[in-house]
Amino acid sequence: MPIRLLPDVLINQIAAGEVVERPAAVVKELVENSLDAGARRIEVDLEQGGLALIRVRDDGRGIELDELPLALARHATSKIASLADLESVDSLGFRGEALPSILSVSRLTLGSRTATSEHGWSVSGAGAFDSSVAPQALAHPPGTSVEVCDLFFNTPARRKFLKSPSTELRHAEQWLRRLALGRTDVGLVLRHERRRLMDLAPVTDDATRDARLKAVCGDEFLEHRVLVDESRHDLRLTGWFARPSFSRASADLQYFYVNGRCVRDRLVAFALRRALADAMHSTRHPAFVLYLELDARAVDVNVHPQKTEVRFRDSARVHDFLFGAVQQRLRDLRPEADQHRVHFAGLPASGDQGASPMARPWSTNTASLPLSAREPSFAQTAWGLMRDAASAGPSATTAEPIPAQEFALGRALAQLHGVFILAENARGLVLVDAHAAHERVLYERMKRELAEGPVPSQAMLVPEPIHVAEDEADALEARREELSGLGISLDRVGPATVVVRAAPPLLGREDVAALIAGLVRDEGRPAPHAHLGEVLDAQSRVLADVACRAAIKANRRLSLPEMDALLRDMERTELADQCNHGRPTWVQLEMSELDRLFLRGR
């Protein structure tokens, strides 16, 4: 076949393959045009999930009569005029490809009116635009409307790859939800088959902002959100992320915006997962709504046909900023009962609450609960008393009623099956997983010690020989210096044998052997030339393993002073709500829930 120029219609249809993937992509392009035109209210109507009809109306500036035919011409745009404009583009659209690409695979009608015009004008086409046909006058409010019918009517092969109308509708709705959080100043309406699915008013205050956040992310995200507002030089991060206790099974609640544009970026996802890794299970996903602002020249938005990906000029700097901002905010958190309430499903609501003394309102002001500086730490009591407590029976001490709001986690009452601590606070009953809580306390303490110098180490009376494979011995020998800083001193004494001469004092001989076995299986150990982040991650994994093995084991009996000391340590410890593996360390049973459980007040 000889080389020849392609006809314009085919060129546009090829371009449409990149831009117009499905009805949701058409909605995206048309709505972004409305936003670039200064619209403050946008209405989207769909039929058959957008396959039969997509109509987008706005109250923007409108298009002048002489520019209306140009709007359907390829590479015609009002957004940029030079390469310099492209390098600092601040509009959502700028290529001039959307409307002609959509027109090439549909029947399209474009109507518009400016504020100074007496009436509107419209142009239309089916698969192509005939420039010889003059625009038609029509009654039209100020703004623009685009009606797209019979999408892919002339490319049946493309239509076969579309999903069901309900699936296509869901994709369009998901994109509008992302937009709703990115442009909170704009009112959005979505209707399908004349049924209203979304009606969001512009955000004007905190109440309307929370209403929009609730409509998109749900009640639970609102309850578990943590505010972020951090700046460093020309970078600023604002928004919210959910506490690790609200982690998700999939990455379905992640919204990230760069200069107002919703994007997907592996760098961003990696930075946020690393920031939350200490408190979230490895199989779970974080939930967040975050906005990054930076110089437009420091980010390239022209790297994806649908502009859903970006490229940062200094990606390492952006990664470190995101990681530091989220992790620091996470570490500022302390236990709050509101985030750990347990609800008993299926129980009837309490009746007249005034009839029950135990059903009176309970204070919810946990932010002002003081941390006790007078209480001995768990390290001061537990390790000195643990051996005596292990052989002694359950403590017969009776706990006195605690003053309201004295401690966030209350006073210990008893230990359940050698696993859980039962405590009483002003809001009801607190259940603590002693092993998980102690694991977090030890882990954070060792991290602080590592930041100040080597982790404390104690020479073993009899060095512990450990037999491993020869390549595993090579790996351990290569990490000697790193492990020494973590309190573990070892020497290689044979091709497949290492001897542990010192270890953190919290570990027994069996724990040391198990720890070394875990180290040689660590697939995430840093390479010889790993960057600092990888080295820190590897160190954290070692400390987490040490803390897990040194923490209180099940069936270890604790006295009330030991339990209280652990509760006070939790209140002072960063990320005390989860253990190092992301499991919750405690839950709160409200008095109102207990009243419902026993039908009190009915």
pLDDT tens readout for residues 94-106: 445 778 888 888 9
| 3-state SS, residue 592 | helix
Show the tokens assigned to 316: 């390492």
Q: Are 434 and 480 in contact (CB under 8 A)?
A: no
Better-scored residue on pLDDT, 428 or 267: 428
| 3-state SS, residue 104 | coil
Name the CATH topology of 457-550.
Ribosomal Protein S8; Chain: A, domain 1 (3.30.1370)
Task: Identify the H or E element spanning 83.
Answer: helix 83-87
Residue 400 confidence (pLDDT) above 70? no
At 7 the pLDDT is 74
CA proximity to 212, closest of 200, 204, 197, 196: 200
pLDDT tens readout for residues 318-369: 988 999 999 889 888 766 655 556 655 554 544 444 433 333 333 333 333 3
At 175 the pLDDT is 94
CA proximity to 276, closest of 247, 317, 236: 247
Local structure of residue 337 (DSSP, 8 states): G
Show the tokens assigned to 81: 């005029």
At 269 the pLDDT is 85
Average pLDDT in the chain: 80
Task: Identify the H or E element spanning 557.
Answer: none
| 3-state SS, residue 279 | helix
At 95 the pLDDT is 47
Indicate the length of the chain as a whole number.
Answer: 602
Q: Are 334 and 576 in contact (CB under 8 A)?
A: yes
Alpha helices in 338-400 (DSSP H): 378-391
Contacts 24+ apart (CB under 8 A), 155-163: 155/13, 155/105, 158/17, 158/105, 159/51, 162/22, 162/23, 162/51, 163/22
| 3-state SS, residue 264 | coil
Residue 40 confidence (pLDDT) above 90? yes
Q: Tell me if 8-199 shares its fold with 457-550.
A: no
At 378 the pLDDT is 52
- On whether the 346-438+554-597 domain is CATH 3.40.50.720, my answer is no
Per-residue b/e over 533-552, b at no fewer than 16 CB within 10 Å? beeeebbbbbbbbbbbbbbb
Q: Quick one: angle between helices 165-182 and 206-217, nearest 10?
A: 150
Q: How much is the average pLDDT of 456-483?
A: 85
- Which amino acid appears at position 112 of this protein? S
Residue 308 confidence (pLDDT) above 80? no
Q: Beta strands 41-47 and 53-58: pairing type?
A: antiparallel
- Sheet strand arrangement including 136-138: 136-138, 120-126, 107-113, 143-149, 53-58, 41-47, 187-192, 195-200
Query: Residues of the chain with pLDDT > 70: what percent?
Result: 77
At 46 the pLDDT is 97
Show the tokens assigned to 17: 């393959």
Cα(first)–Cα(last) distance of the chain, in Å?
86
Provide the residue ranges of all domains of the chain, joining segments of one domain with +: 8-199, 218-331, 346-438+554-597, 457-550
At 574 the pLDDT is 87
Q: Are 421 and 415 in contact (CB under 8 A)?
A: yes
- On whether the 218-331 domain is CATH 3.30.230.10, my answer is yes
Q: What phi-psi label fits residue 193: left (phi over 0), alpha (psi between -120 and 50 degrees) or beta?
A: left
pLDDT tens readout for residues 141-160: 999 999 999 999 888 888 88
Lowest model confidence (mean pLDDT) among 24-28, 201-205, 494-498 = 494-498
Q: How much is the average pLDDT of 303-307?
A: 65
Query: Residues of the chain with pLDDT > 90: what percent?
Result: 36
Q: What is the rounded distance in angstroms from the CA atom of residue 486 to the CA atom of residue 490?
A: 12
Please provide residue 569's backbone torsions phi and psi, each rounded to the nearest 5 degrees: -65, -40
At 352 the pLDDT is 42
Q: Are 59 and 115 in contact (CB under 8 A)?
A: no
At 289 the pLDDT is 95
Radius of gyration of the chain (CA): 31
Q: How much is the average pLDDT of 579-585?
A: 86
Residue 251 confidence (pLDDT) above 50? yes
At 397 the pLDDT is 40
Better-scored residue on pLDDT, 136 or 532: 136
At 421 the pLDDT is 95
Q: Are 559 and 315 in contact (CB under 8 A)?
A: no
Torsion of CA 160, 28, 146, 18, to 10 degrees: -50
Residue 531: exposure state from Cβ atoms within 10 A (0-12, 13-18, ≥19): exposed
pLDDT tens readout for residues 473-521: 888 888 888 888 878 888 988 888 899 988 888 777 777 777 777 777 6
> Full-prediction pTM beyond 0.85?
no
Question: Quick one: pLDDT band at residue 430, thresholds 50, 70, 90?
Answer: very high
pLDDT tens readout for residues 51-74: 999 999 999 999 889 888 888 876
- Please give the CATH number for the structural domain made up of 8-199: 3.30.565.10
Lowest model confidence (mean pLDDT) among 252-266, 369-383, 547-561 = 369-383
